[in-house]
Structure 1
Amino acid sequence: MTIEEILAGESKNVEFKETLPEKSIKYMKSVVAFANGTGGKIIFGITDKTREVVGFDKEDVFKKMDAIANAVSDSCEPAIIPDITLQTVDGKTVIVVEVSEGRQRPYYIKALGRDGGVYVRVAGTTRLADEYMIKELLFEGSNRYYDQALCTGLNVTDEDIDVLCKAMKEQAVKNARTEEQKAAIKDVGRQQLRSWGILIERDGKDYPSNAFAILTGNGGLHVATQCGVFKGTTKAVFVDRREYTGPLWEQIDEAFQFVLRNIHLGAAIVGIYRQDVYEIPPDAIRELIINAMVHRSYLDHGTIQVAVYDNRLEITSPGKLPMGQTMERMKEGYSKIRNEALAHAFAYMNLIEHWGSGIPRIIDKVKAAGLREPEFIGGEVDLRINIYRGQVDGTVDLNNAIKVPDTIGKMPDSGNKVPDKTEIVPDNIKKMPDSGNEVPDTTEKIPDSEREQQIYKYVLENGSITTAETVEILDVKHRRARAVLLNMVKDGYLRKEGAARSTIYVKNTEGR
């Protein structure tokens, strides 16, 4: 160990002890935590606060090494075999106990039992593992996947299975990138769902796995995606927030559209053509949301959080990194599947391409747009990825194209304006509200639902809409069309005029 490493202090994978404690449990918790994590070192003979190297006398250092080896052997279950060595630092002898990442998880202290003796590392400290973390470690240690386990309490019918198969094929067709890819899509059936682990066959009958419940939004697992817009760079002030539930593919689309509505949308004139340009590449946003959906821990009762701040987009997925995965390996393209059944389903639905290619592709797209490389934080309890808004050089120049404001349907500006060195063309059309700052009364906000957006756009273009016109636009029954319109009236987007057959719905200009 170098003096530079010592001066850096304790970290996620390094812990200092000035002496060998009389009670081994004082350091045995860290031994167990390192085995349950990515491994680590305990250095005996260095003070943790001042980082002073005190070392040990050469006469009894070997006795202390034997004491450590015996304590680890007697105290831990399953067995942990650390690498114990001597090292000279500043002319003094220290003991280095290196614990490797364990495969027979969870590791725990025998005297405390598995319920109270499992420890993990969080932010450079050793903590008692909670119930969810112990279950996560159990699945890792037995090389099983939670999403392929039987979903207790959920019963499905033949119709439920057929509906899922049909919906998955529709998504596969929708997400196909080429006609050739679309033509290659085959029907998905029960046998395929069984091979992926979405269905479990027992005694000739099919039962749903957790993946079935997660994909469809059923089964009482409360799988949700929380989206929010915040003023400033912290969560102190909410501007808008939504929670989306239902099938995973719907949550992906809803969260994706939410972000697009709340970031800058400009335009680039290339030749004689006008191209819409978002400040963050939409493909990168969508891939980040999909990546969070397929790789998060569904044992953790938390939710995926998509947050738009003035200076960044932040996506947080619950759960520590899977065993064998690190931030560095992830950014290099190494894939460690946590949810195998979901990964197969997402691949079939063309939501993901080659396993492991998502993160490197996201990084490349963000950097190609002139933005900072995405920031990866955490990995011990959850994973947080930040994409910072605003070009690295402080400009909004993109491929030397002339940039103009978006004169049609500009997205909310929730961040500070970025200086533009190119020619600016005034925007005389009403803009969407700035969700990060106080907005003038002339700005407006569009509905969150895709169906309501269609209706709102029709009203803006035609002045009004009837229930019959809504039925035709949305391709729904009369009762459903009326419910959508009344909901938009309740939310303040529309105003009802007339009665009976003469009823029309117009834009509400009061209070919006």
Structure 2
Amino acid sequence: MNTQDIRHLISLGESLTTEFKSDLSKLPDNDLVAAVVGLANTQGGYLIVGIEDNGKITGLHKKHQNMQGLASLIASRTVPSLSVKTEQITVNSLPIAIIYVPSSNTLVATSDGLIQRRRLKADGSPESIPFHPHEFMQRQSTLGVIDPSAIPMMDISSDALDPLQRQRLRNAIKRYGGDNALAALDDEQLDGALRLVIEVEGNKHPTLTGLLFLGTVELLRDYLPSHEVAFQVLNGTNVKVNEFFKKPLLETFEEVELLFRARVTEEEIQIGLFRTPIPNYDRQAFREAFVNALVHRDYHRLGMVQVKLDDTGLTISSAGGFVEGVNLNNLLVVAPRSRNPLLADVMKRIGLAERTGRGIDRIYEGMLRYGRPAPDYSMSDTSAVSLYMANAGADVEFVRMIVEQEERTGNMPIDSLIILSRLRDERRLTTAELIPSIQKPETQVRSVLGRLTETGLIEAHGQGRGRSYTLSSRVYKELGEQIKYVRQTGADAIQQEQMIISFVRLNGSIRRADVMDLCKLDKDRASRLLKNMKKNNLLELHGRGGNAHYTAK
């Protein structure tokens, strides 16, 4: 890191992955090592020594200015030994130590036996707290080190399981198009094939997954009290439905889905020879989202799976944050992973979950193809994953355009849907502005844009990195928005020049910031336009830097 990087990091303040420590009175070794352990047991990050909690730089104590000795101290005082990277940087003429702490795949303790982790308090500020034994499995499952759903329930005999739930399982395999090979198996073989029951020292016990599928209500209540699902319907502040379920997984799924389907309404539009239904909520998107909440939740953390319908939309939340490596910036592209791999595998083999592991694509598709806002995961945090799907009206003409295009070229890829949806809402965007939504490298985004241009769905404007994209004239015509197309694409170079000249005549001069606002251009494109107008003797430059402005030639 250079000084500029450090200044920026300090300016952001303390967070889950950044901690400041004062060293004016020589930070005790125990406190330093404990802080490192807290970071390692969470997400890793930076421990910056020589800074007060408020970000004021006060410098390193002379006994901590040996970076190699600092790394050796941490390695010798942690169990297992933790390797960190240390660097000394001078800021404001004062030395500070940057200690980069990796996220550990195993639990790390100090040599004195202290185990702690970091968390965010209600006000958003971070703190280090003790790491309790009952939380160890949560951490290990989040890291993918163990599979909690495959752990045998040693206090329960397989004889205590409910045969009616096993029959429900067989029916589900047929109904949802599951693995046909499972249908020919007898009960014992079925339990073994799905690892619902395993043998330990000659005795058969259900796994946690087996308990969820085949357990009785009493067994679930006594041995898995965290399993609970709530279905709520609100009308303003009035509660219309408030149902709670502690039943086996499939029975719960079927009853909640039945309650949800009763609130799905549809309208139909004629497209060619066929009528296409447009639901207020896409059933497939709901199923994938609900199954994800059941499969990926943390069953060792109290807290229910909640399905809530209100005037604004549908919210599905579950206990336990995203698993290690998954975040809001890579949801669409990260390799499929689960907190409960066995449970996820059983759901796929039954046919309830997307077998490719890309159920998130189905959720996005279920919103975007109807011209609705993208699914919103922004309310998720370290303790829960929350999905919100807005109850927005469908754009009928957008649906018609998508369906007709799919009849010509096949199913619309999710990347293309995201681009078309954003251009529909925001009119004109550059490649750089589209990259965060698609979550893929620039070369892949450009490839998608190229294919959409070839099919005539979008048009490119400009050259180089300043190139922008809009929906094509054909699409605007199909949407019945020809005027918006002319307004959007009419601001080409000639019209932009005319707007600038009109502005100068009215105001006497113009600055680059004015051009950016007037023509909706970024800084580089505004600069190029002004330079070209100066070169063509349309404008005259006065001043430099922040005082630069242009007048009519």
TM-score in terms of structure 1 length: 0.65
Q: Given that residues 252 and 286 in structure 1 are in contact (C-alpha distance below 8 angstroms), is that contact kept between their aligned partners in structure 2?
A: no
Q: Could you say which structure has the greater relative contact order, defined with CA pairs below 8 angstroms and 6 or more residues apart?
A: 1
Q: Given that residues 40 and 104 in structure 2 are in contact (C-alpha distance below 8 angstroms), is that contact kept between their aligned partners in structure 1?
A: yes
Q: Given that residues 169 and 188 in structure 1 are in contact (C-alpha distance below 8 angstroms), is that contact kept between their aligned partners in structure 2?
A: no
Q: 3-state SS of the aligned residue for 1:253? A: helix
Q: Provide the residue aligned with 1:62 in structure 2.
A: 65
Residue in structure 2 matching 1:383, options 385, 389, 406 = 385
Q: Given that residues 330 and 356 in structure 1 are in contact (C-alpha distance below 8 angstroms), is that contact kept between their aligned partners in structure 2?
A: no
Q: Given that residues 371 and 399 in structure 2 are in contact (C-alpha distance below 8 angstroms), is that contact kept between their aligned partners in structure 1?
A: no
Question: Deviations along 1:434-472, whole A, 9 cap, x unmatched?
Answer: xxxxxxxxxxxxxxxxxxxxxxxxxxxxxxxxxxxxxxx
Q: Given that residues 141 and 340 in structure 2 are in contact (C-alpha distance below 8 angstroms), is that contact kept between their aligned partners in structure 1?
A: no
Correspondence 1:7 to 2:11? yes
- What are the within-5 Å matches in structure 2 for residues 401-440 of structure 1? none
Q: Provide the residue aligned with 2:23 in structure 1.
A: 19
Question: Deviations along 1:259-285, whole A, 9 cap, x unmatched?
Answer: 444566544454676554223322111
Q: Given that residues 37 and 323 in structure 1 are in contact (C-alpha distance below 8 angstroms), is that contact kept between their aligned partners in structure 2?
A: no
The aligned amino acid for 1:301 is L
- CA distance 1:336–1:16, change in 2 (3 Å): same
Residue in structure 1 matching 2:231, options 209, 214, 227 = 227
Q: Provide the residue aligned with 2:242 in structure 1.
A: 241
Distance (Å, rounded) in 2 between the aligned partners of 1:278 and 1:330: 25
Q: Provide the residue aligned with 1:288 in structure 2.
A: 289
Distance (Å, rounded) in 2 between the aligned partners of 1:147 and 1:135: 11
Q: Given that residues 29 and 119 in structure 1 are in contact (C-alpha distance below 8 angstroms), is that contact kept between their aligned partners in structure 2?
A: no
The unaligned stretches of length 5 or more in structure 2 are: 402-478, 480-553
Q: Provide the residue aligned with 2:303 in structure 1.
A: 302
The structural deviation recorded for 1:239 is: 4.0
Correspondence 1:42 to 2:34? no
- CA distance 1:400–1:144, change in 2 (3 Å): closer
Correspondence 1:374 to 2:378? no
Q: Given that residues 165 and 248 in structure 2 are in contact (C-alpha distance below 8 angstroms), is that contact kept between their aligned partners in structure 1?
A: no
Correspondence 1:85 to 2:87? yes
- What are the within-5 Å matches in structure 2 for residues 339-358 of structure 1? 339-358=340-359
The aligned amino acid for 1:108 is A
Q: Provide the residue aligned with 2:360 in structure 1.
A: 359
Q: Given that residues 16 and 118 in structure 2 are in contact (C-alpha distance below 8 angstroms), is that contact kept between their aligned partners in structure 1?
A: no
- What are the within-5 Å matches in structure 2 for residues 177-192 of structure 1? 186-189=183-186, 190-191=188-189
The aligned amino acid for 1:199 is V
- What are the within-5 Å matches in structure 2 for residues 211-226 of structure 1? 211-218=209-216, 219=219, 220=222, 221-222=224-225, 223-226=227-230
Residue in structure 1 matching 2:98, options 71, 96, 99 = 96
The structural deviation recorded for 1:135 is: 2.9
The structural deviation recorded for 1:341 is: 2.3
Correspondence 1:336 to 2:340? no
Q: Provide the residue aligned with 1:210 in structure 2.
A: 208
- CA distance 1:275–1:324, change in 2 (3 Å): closer
- What are the within-5 Å matches in structure 2 for residues 156-175 of structure 1? 156-157=158-159, 160=161, 163-175=164-176
Q: Which structure has the larger Rg?
A: 2
The structural deviation recorded for 1:365 is: 2.9
Q: Given that residues 55 and 93 in structure 1 are in contact (C-alpha distance below 8 angstroms), is that contact kept between their aligned partners in structure 2?
A: yes
The structural deviation recorded for 1:205 is: 4.0
Q: Given that residues 370 and 399 in structure 2 are in contact (C-alpha distance below 8 angstroms), is that contact kept between their aligned partners in structure 1?
A: no
- CA distance 1:346–1:71, change in 2 (3 Å): same
Q: Provide the residue aligned with 1:194 in structure 2.
A: 192
The structural deviation recorded for 1:161 is: 7.3
Identity %: 19
The aligned amino acid for 1:213 is L
* Two-structure CA RMSD over aligned residues (Å): 3.5
Distance (Å, rounded) in 1 between the aligned partners of 2:159 and 2:144: 31
Q: 3-state SS of the aligned residue for 1:79? A: coil
Between 1:206-215 and 1:315-324, the stretch displaced more is 315-324
The structural deviation recorded for 1:92 is: 5.0
The structural deviation recorded for 1:356 is: 3.0
Distance (Å, rounded) in 1 between the aligned partners of 2:397 and 2:57: 53
The structural deviation recorded for 1:339 is: 1.6
- CA distance 1:277–1:350, change in 2 (3 Å): same
- CA distance 1:142–1:365, change in 2 (3 Å): closer
The structural deviation recorded for 1:355 is: 4.6
The structural deviation recorded for 1:102 is: 0.8
Distance (Å, rounded) in 1 between the aligned partners of 2:265 and 2:8: 44
